[in-house]
């Protein structure tokens, strides 16, 4: 049977872009369909604009810290409109750059939402295309709880388009999105209330990470309402009235951000017509270790599969798929020992097993090395900011099972440590490594 394309990709986010370009490099005829800006969640409304907001939120603290080093900083002003507009311009620049990369790779870009009609046919804007293989890479989307008045709240998508900086922002959610935006907005000068239904933020991370980040946030002036849920939202002339469980005084805020989770973006995708199975309860596309769905010629990568929802993971899955199907190099993408970070203030990063997971798997053979200290940078600034570092070791093999950090440049430092953990480094390997002095990172090779 003859097809229009060797590969048709639905979704031009991180995974779809990586897979399409890699497949085209092997000589495949490839098309990719996207109904939004090219780049996906990461470029348009996720990692990139959020990290730019993180950078911007650091300056007020740096102005204060400069005084300890003899600098006099005059009156400072913040222009929210300039800030948001600059971020939007950068997002559009990157989106156009990704389009040029597709053109150079020979991938045809089709504007519109791709919908499956069967396991070889895709419809975009009323036009039908056929393809030997199909890759679904449509990512995820934020969701809101079914709470009265929740239509007055925004999701993370809306954070990059606020017309003015909120004087008081309330945030529902204890995960990394809610936590990061709480820190961003506090750094930019907003009053911040974070409402969480559990007893701690960032559950799922190592306990020393979430307790240290949480304590730092509280010391920075963020109000965290624990074991609390929003029961109703009402729009009043003075702002949003946010009622809470347990009958405490309602919160009045300019903006309410809901960051309670994301689900695979599979609505109206036509999965049933193509016979593609999904898993309950989120309707994530079910795939095997090669990203293959229940239909042998249809594959899925990234957040739509709800395996490990990280941009580099989607890219890795996409490239592994292309190598396997078009590059004569059948391989799996490993989801083990993947480093990740939370760009909170203080920042956190981690790779490998948490202490709890390590103890569950290895029992009493686990030994934990931990250090807490004030980095040298803050001594003249007169601040009590702390850094926490932690190594989890299996004493039977001396292998490093996990590395965790909270503090400045945690993501940059853990990225290097992750190489060692992925290679199977031992505590003896870390001990034999000479530290760079004076630096915070040297603590990873001096813990005894």
- The continuous run of DSSP H or E covering 324 comes out as helix 311-326
- Please enumerate in sequence order all residues whose Cβ is within 8 A of that of 378, keeping only pairs 6 or more positions apart, or say none: 65, 384, 385
Crossing angle of helices 355-362 and 207-219, in 10° steps, is: 160
Looking at residue 198, its pLDDT comes to 95
| Residue 64, SS3 per DSSP | helix
In a domain, residue 88? The reply is yes
Q: How far is CA 288 from CA 317, 332, 336, in A?
A: 12, 10, 16
In a domain, residue 117? The reply is yes
pLDDT digits (tens, 9 = 90+) for 381-399: 999 999 999 999 999 999 9
Q: Is pTM beyond 0.85 here?
A: yes
- Please enumerate in sequence order all residues whose Cβ is within 8 A of that of 146, keeping only pairs 6 or more positions apart, or say none: none
CATH code of the domain containing 384: 3.30.390.30
In a domain, residue 334? The reply is no
In a domain, residue 203? The reply is yes
Of 348, 313, 308, 61, nearest to 201 by C-alpha is: 348
Whether residue 128 is found in the same domain as residue 12: yes
Q: Which two tokens stand for residue 90?
A: 């950068």
Q: Which residues are catalytic?
A: 437
For the chain, which residues score pLDDT lower than 50? none
The terminus-to-terminus CA distance of the chain in angstroms comes to 65
Other Cβ atoms within 10 Å of 257 Cβ, number: 27
Residue 285 CA to residue 306 CA, distance in Å, equals: 8
Q: Could you tell me the residue range of the domain that residue 290 belongs to?
A: 5-141+263-326
List, edge to edge, every strand of the sheet that includes 348-352.
340-342, 348-352, 399-406, 387-394, 366-373
Residue 292 CA to residue 306 CA, distance in Å, equals: 14
Query: In angstroms, how far is CA 137 from the centroid of its own chain?
Result: 16
Tell me which of 260, 285, 303 is where a domain ends.
260
Whether residue 322 is found in the same domain as residue 437: no
Q: Which two tokens stand for residue 30?
A: 């490839």
The total of structural domains in the chain comes to 3
pLDDT digits (tens, 9 = 90+) for 149-196: 999 999 999 999 999 999 999 999 999 999 999 999 999 999 999 999
Whether residue 19 is found in the same domain as residue 90: yes
In a domain, residue 335? The reply is no
In a domain, residue 236? The reply is yes
Tell me which of 243, 260, 277 is where a domain ends.
260
């Amino acid at each position: 049977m003859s097809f229009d394309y060797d590969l048709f990709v639905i979704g031009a986010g991180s995974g779809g872009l990586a897979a399409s370009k890699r497949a085209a490099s092997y000589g495949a005829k490839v098309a990719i369909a996207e109904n939004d800006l090219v780049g996906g969640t990461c470029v348009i409304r996720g990692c990139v604009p959020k990290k730019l907001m993180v950078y911007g939120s650091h300056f007020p603290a740096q102005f204060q810290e400069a005084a300890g080093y003899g600098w006099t900083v005059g009156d400072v002003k913040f222009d929210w409109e300039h800030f948001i507009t600059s971020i939007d311009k950068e997002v559009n620049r990157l989106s156009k750059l990704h389009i040029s990369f597709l053109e150079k790779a020979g991938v045809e870009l089709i504007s519109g939402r791709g919908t499956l009609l069967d396991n070889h046919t895709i419809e975009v804007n009323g036009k039908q295309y056929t393809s030997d293989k199909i890759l679904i890479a449509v990512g995820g989307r934020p969701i809101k709880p079914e709470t009265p008045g929740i239509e007055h709240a925004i999701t993370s998508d809306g954070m990059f388009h606020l017309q003015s900086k909120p004087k008081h922002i309330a945030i529902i959610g204890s995960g990394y999105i809610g936590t990061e935006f709480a820190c961003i907005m506090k750094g930019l000068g907003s009053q911040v209330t974070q409402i969480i239904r559990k007893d701690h933020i960032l559950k799922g991370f190592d306990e020393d990470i979430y307790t240290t980040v949480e304590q730092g946030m509280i010391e920075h002036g963020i109000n965290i309402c624990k074991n609390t849920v929003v029961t109703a939202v009402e729009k009043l002339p003075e702002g949003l009235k946010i009622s809470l469980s347990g009958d405490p005084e309602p919160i009045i805020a300019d903006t309410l951000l809901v960051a309670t989770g994301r689900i695979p973006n599979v609505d109206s995708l036509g999965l049933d017509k193509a016979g593609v199975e999904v898993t309950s309860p989120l309707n994530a596309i079910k795939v095997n270790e090669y990203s293959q769905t229940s239909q042998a010629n249809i594959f899925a990568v990234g957040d739509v599969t709800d395996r490990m929802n990280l941009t580099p993971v989607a890219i890795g899955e996409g490239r592994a798929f292309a190598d396997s199907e078009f590059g004569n190099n059948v391989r799996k993408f490993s989801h083990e020992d993947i480093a990740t970070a939370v760009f909170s203030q203080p920042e956190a990063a981690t790779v490998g097993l948490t202490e709890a997971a390590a103890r569950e798997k290895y029992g009493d053979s686990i030994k934990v090395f931990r250090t807490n200290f004030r980095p040298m940078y803050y001594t003249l600034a007169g601040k009590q900011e702390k850094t926490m570092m932690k190594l989890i070791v299996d004493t039977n093999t001396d292998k490093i099972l996990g590395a965790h950090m909270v503090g400045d440049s945690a993501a940059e430092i853990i990225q290097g440590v992750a190489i060692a953990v992925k290679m199977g480094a031992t505590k003896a390997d870390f001990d034999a490594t000479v530290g760079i002095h004076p630096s915070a990172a040297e603590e990873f090779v001096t813990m005894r």
